[in-house]
Amino acid sequence: MNSYNNIVSEIQSEYKKIGDVSCVILKYEKVRFNSLGFKHIIRKGISLRKPKDVLIRLNLLKYCPLIIQSADVFVEYRLIKKRTKSFEYWGLTKVVSGKEVTVVIRQAGNGLKHFYSVFIRRTSKKYFKDKN
């Protein structure tokens, strides 16, 4: 478990250096890499994710800036309303090393868009493409 914690700490240090990344498909808006995204890699809600799942996601983090900068297709978009807040989610996908990697960007209300998650996509359905 100690080596697991060391890996998480090392990757978190690199993650903090990413800062903001411009997203082409979101009309060059900045996507911030903040603590919310990193926490979501480690936890789902209040529960810790399985270490194997966390390590897979941590390994995919290095591809996230490139995917955000260059993805030209949304594989998913969701608008979720909870009480007085709304949350928008965009899923962007690129094939990396033969696997379809999806990055999720989230925006709470009118706040900044931020990195929220990364995972290997199980299906390759394209839901819609931005025409602008």
Domain presence at residue 108: yes
User: Looking at residue 7, what is its pLDDT?
Assistant: 94
24-76 pLDDT, tens digit per residue, is 999 999 999 999 999 999 999 899 999 999 999 999 999 999 999 998 888 89
* Both structure tokens of 62: 């290095």
Residue 80 pLDDT greater than 50, yes or no: yes
Evaluated on CA atoms 11, 13, 17, 19, the torsion sign reads positive
Distances (CA, A) of 9 to 14, 60, 126: 9, 15, 35
pLDDT at 120 over 70: yes
What contacts 24+ positions apart, CB below 8 Å, involve 82-91?
85/109, 89/116, 90/25, 90/26
- Decide if 130 is inside a domain: no
pLDDT band at 115 (very low <50, low <70, confident <90, very high): very high
Tell me which residue range forms the domain holding 86.
2-120
129 belongs to a structural domain = no
Count up the domains in the chain and report the number: 1
Residue 125 belongs to some domain of the structure = no
**What pairs with residue 78 in β-bridges?**
89
Domain assignment present for 67: yes
**CA dist., res. 32 & res. 106, Å (int):** 10
